[in-house]
C-alpha cells in the first residue's frame, strides 16, 4: 500500500532526512521516499496507516503537509 503526501517547507537534504526519519518511525510504515524538488512524500506500508499519524510525524520534523 502506497500513499503520497505533499510536504511544505523543505529546503535542503537535511529537511528530507528529518521528515524521512520521523515518518519511518510510524508503526506499519515499511518504506519512505521524499523528493525535495516536488515536496512529495511517498509512504509504503503493509496495511492502512492513519494519515493523522503521518501528518503528526511530518509536523514533529518541523514541516507541514499541504491539504490533500
Number of domains in the chain: 1
- The residue ranges of the chain whose pLDDT is under 50 are none
Sheet holding 2-8, edge to edge: 29-35, 40-45, 2-8, 64-65
52 conformational bin, left if phi > 0, alpha if psi -120 to 50, beta if neither: alpha
Q: Find the farthest-apart pair of alpha carbons in the chain and give their distance in angstroms, rounded.
A: 30
Report the interhelical angle of 51-60 vs 13-24 (nearest 10°). 140
The radius of gyration of the chain from alpha carbons, rounded to an integer in Å, stands at 10
Q: Could you tell me the pTM of the whole model?
A: 0.92
The reported pLDDT for the residue numbered 68 is 56
- Structural domain of residue 49, as residue ranges? 2-65
Identify the CATH number of the domain in which residue 9 sits.
3.30.70.100
Amino acid at each position: 500500500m502506497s500513499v503520497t503526501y505533499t510536504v511544505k517547507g523543505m529546503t535542503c537534504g537535511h529537511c528530507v532526512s528529518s521528515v524521512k526519519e520521523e515518518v519511518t518511525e510510524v508503526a506499519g510504515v515499511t518504506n519512505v521516499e521524499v523528493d525535495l524538488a516536488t515536496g512529495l512524500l511517498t509512504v509504503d506500508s503493509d496495511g492502512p496507516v492513519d494519515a493523522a499519524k503521518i501528518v503528526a510525524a511530518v509536523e514533529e520534523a518541523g514541516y507541514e503537509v499541504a491539504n490533500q
